Chain A
Amino acid sequence: MATRPAAEIHTAVPPLSAERQVTWPKRTKARLANGLEVVLAESHTIPKFHGELFFRSGNAAASQRAPGFAEMTATVVRTGTQKRASRQIEEDLRRLGADLSSHAGADNSAIAFAGLSELAAPLLQLVNELAREAAFPEAEFERERRQKLEEVKLDRTQPGFLAGERLRKVLFGAHPYAQVAPTEEQVAAYKRDDLLSVYRDFYTPENALLLMVGDFDSAAMLKTIEKVFGAWSGQKPIVPPSPEPAKPRGRRVHLVHVPGAVQAQVLAGCHAITRKHPDWIKLGLTNSLYGGAFNSRLVMNIREDKGYTYSPRSSVNPLRQYGYFSISAAVRNDVVAASLTEIFYELDKLRALPVPDPELADARNYVSGVFSLGLATQDGLLSQLATVALNDLPDDYLENYREKVRALTPGDLLATARKYFDSANMQIAIVGDRTQIEPQAALFGDLDVYDAHGKRLG
Chain B
Amino acid sequence: MNALKIPIETTTLPNGLKVVIAPDTTAPVVTVGVYYKIGFRLEPQGRSGFAHLFEHMMFQGSANAPKMQHIKLINSSGGTLNGSTHYDVTNYFESVPSNALERVLWLEADRMRALKVDDENLRNQRDVVKEEVRVNVLNQPYGGFPWLDLPPIAFRNWATAHNFYGDFADLDAASLADVQSFFKTYYAPNNAVLLILGDVKPDEGLALAKRYFGDIPAAATPPFADPREPEQTEERRGEVEEKFGTLPAMAIGFTVPPRRTTDWCAMALLDQALHGGRAGRMYRHLVLEKQVAVEVDGGIEDIFGYNGPTQMVTKILYKPEFTSETTLAEFDSVIHDVQQNGITQDELDQLKVKFRSDYYSTLEGGHGGMPRYGLMHLLACFSLFDNEPHLVNTILDDFLAVKREDIQSVAKKYLRNDKRAIVFRSPANAQAQEAA
Asked whether B365 lies within 8 Å of A379 as measured between CB atoms, the reply is yes
Say if the beta carbon of A458 comes within 8 Å of chain B: no
Q: Which residues of B contact A115 (CB under 8 A)?
A: 357
Say if the beta carbon of B319 comes within 8 Å of chain A: yes
Asked whether B371 lies within 8 Å of A373 as measured between CB atoms, the reply is yes
Q: Which residues of A contact B124 (CB under 8 A)?
A: 304-307
Q: Which residues of B contact A146 (CB under 8 A)?
A: 291
Pick out which of these stretches binds chain B: A86-94, A267-275, A347-355, A412-420.
A86-94
Asked whether A94 lies within 8 Å of B141 as measured between CB atoms, the reply is no
Asked whether A377 lies within 8 Å of B247 as measured between CB atoms, the reply is no
| Bound Cα distance from A303 to B130, whole angstroms | 12
Pick out which of these stretches binds chain B: A193-201, A218-226, A319-327, A360-368.
A360-368
Say if the beta carbon of A376 comes within 8 Å of chain B: yes
| Bound Cα distance from A14 to B77, whole angstroms | 11
B283 to chain A: closest residue by CB: A90
| Bound Cα distance from A378 to B198, whole angstroms | 15
Pick out which of these stretches binds chain A: B14-22, B97-105, B329-337.
B97-105
Asked whether B198 lies within 8 Å of A263 as measured between CB atoms, the reply is no
Asked whether A293 lies within 8 Å of B204 as measured between CB atoms, the reply is no
| Bound Cα distance from A50 to B288, whole angstroms | 27
A158 to chain B: closest residue by CB: B141
Q: Which residues of A contact B71 (CB under 8 A)?
A: 294-295, 304
Given A94-B279, A365-B78, A375-B27, answer yes or no on A114-B131 (Cβ-Cβ < 8 Å). no
Asked whether A294 lies within 8 Å of B81 as measured between CB atoms, the reply is yes
| Bound Cα distance from A94 to B123, whole angstroms | 49
Q: Which residues of B contact A158 (CB under 8 A)?
A: 140-141
Identify A16's interface contact among B99, B131, B351, B361, CB under 8 A.
B99
Pick out which of these stretches binds chain B: A38-46, A233-241, A388-396, A438-446.
A38-46
| Bound Cα distance from A118 to B218, whole angstroms | 48
A12 to chain B: closest residue by CB: B64
Q: Which residues of A contact B354 (CB under 8 A)?
A: 94, 97
| Bound Cα distance from A116 to B350, whole angstroms | 13
Most buried by B among A11, A143, A295, A363: A295
Say if the beta carbon of B113 comes within 8 Å of chain A: yes
Pick out which of these stretches binds chain B: A17-25, A166-174, A204-212, A277-285.
A17-25
Say if the beta carbon of B199 comes within 8 Å of chain A: yes
Given A47-B360, A94-B276, answer yes or no on A377-B369 (Cβ-Cβ < 8 Å). yes
Q: Which residues of B contact A99 (CB under 8 A)?
A: 277
Q: Which of B88-102 contact A (CB under 8 A)?
A: 95-102
Asked whether A372 lies within 8 Å of B288 as measured between CB atoms, the reply is no
Identify B75's interface contact among A44, A295, A331, A380, CB under 8 A.
A295
The interface bits of chain B over 286-315 (1 if a CB of A lies within 8 angstroms of the residue's CB, else 0) are: 011001001000000000000000000000
Identify B139's interface contact among A87, A263, A295, A370, CB under 8 A.
A263
| Bound Cα distance from A372 to B207, whole angstroms | 26
Asked whether B67 lies within 8 Å of A295 as measured between CB atoms, the reply is no
Q: Which of B144-158 contact A (CB under 8 A)?
A: none
Asked whether B141 lies within 8 Å of A157 as measured between CB atoms, the reply is yes
Asked whether B26 lies within 8 Å of A43 as measured between CB atoms, the reply is yes
Most buried by A among B135, B247, B369: B135
Asked whether A16 lies within 8 Å of B141 as measured between CB atoms, the reply is no
| Bound Cα distance from A115 to B358, whole angstroms | 9
Identify B79's interface contact among A15, A46, A369, CB under 8 A.
A369
Pick out which of these stretches binds chain A: B35-43, B238-246, B255-263, B407-415.
B238-246
**Smallest CB separation, B113 vs chain A (Å):** 7
Asked whether B27 lies within 8 Å of A308 as measured between CB atoms, the reply is no
Asked whether B212 lies within 8 Å of A95 as measured between CB atoms, the reply is no
Asked whether B64 lies within 8 Å of A16 as measured between CB atoms, the reply is no
| Bound Cα distance from A304 to B124, whole angstroms | 7
Asked whether B288 lies within 8 Å of A143 as measured between CB atoms, the reply is yes
Asked whether A143 lies within 8 Å of B29 as measured between CB atoms, the reply is no
Asked whether A94 lies within 8 Å of B353 as measured between CB atoms, the reply is yes
Q: Which residues of B contact A231 (CB under 8 A)?
A: none
| Bound Cα distance from A305 to B120, whole angstroms | 10
**Smallest CB separation, A266 vs chain B (Å):** 12
Q: Which residues of B contact A119 (CB under 8 A)?
A: 353
Asked whether B360 lies within 8 Å of A46 as measured between CB atoms, the reply is yes
| Bound Cα distance from A165 to B330, whole angstroms | 36
Say if the beta carbon of B401 comes within 8 Å of chain A: no
**Smallest CB separation, B36 vs chain A (Å):** 20
Given A99-B277, A376-B372, answer yes or no on A13-B98 (Cβ-Cβ < 8 Å). no
Q: Which of A2-58 contact B (CB under 8 A)?
A: 9-22, 43-48
Given A294-B71, A307-B123, A376-B372, answer yes or no on A330-B102 (Cβ-Cβ < 8 Å). no
Which 9 A-B pairs give the minimum distances between C-beta atoms? A369-B78, A97-B357, A307-B127, A362-B76, A376-B371, A20-B28, A295-B75, A310-B132, A90-B279
Q: Please give 5 more A-B residue pairs, beta carbons under 8 A apart, in addition to A20-B98, A115-B357.
A: A1-B204, A119-B353, A154-B141, A330-B134, A377-B371
- What are 22 inter-chain pairs, A to B, with CB distance below 8 A? A13-B65, A16-B103, A17-B99, A17-B101, A18-B99, A20-B199, A91-B279, A91-B350, A94-B351, A97-B356, A153-B247, A159-B140, A294-B81, A295-B71, A304-B67, A307-B124, A308-B127, A311-B131, A362-B75, A370-B79, A373-B369, A380-B369
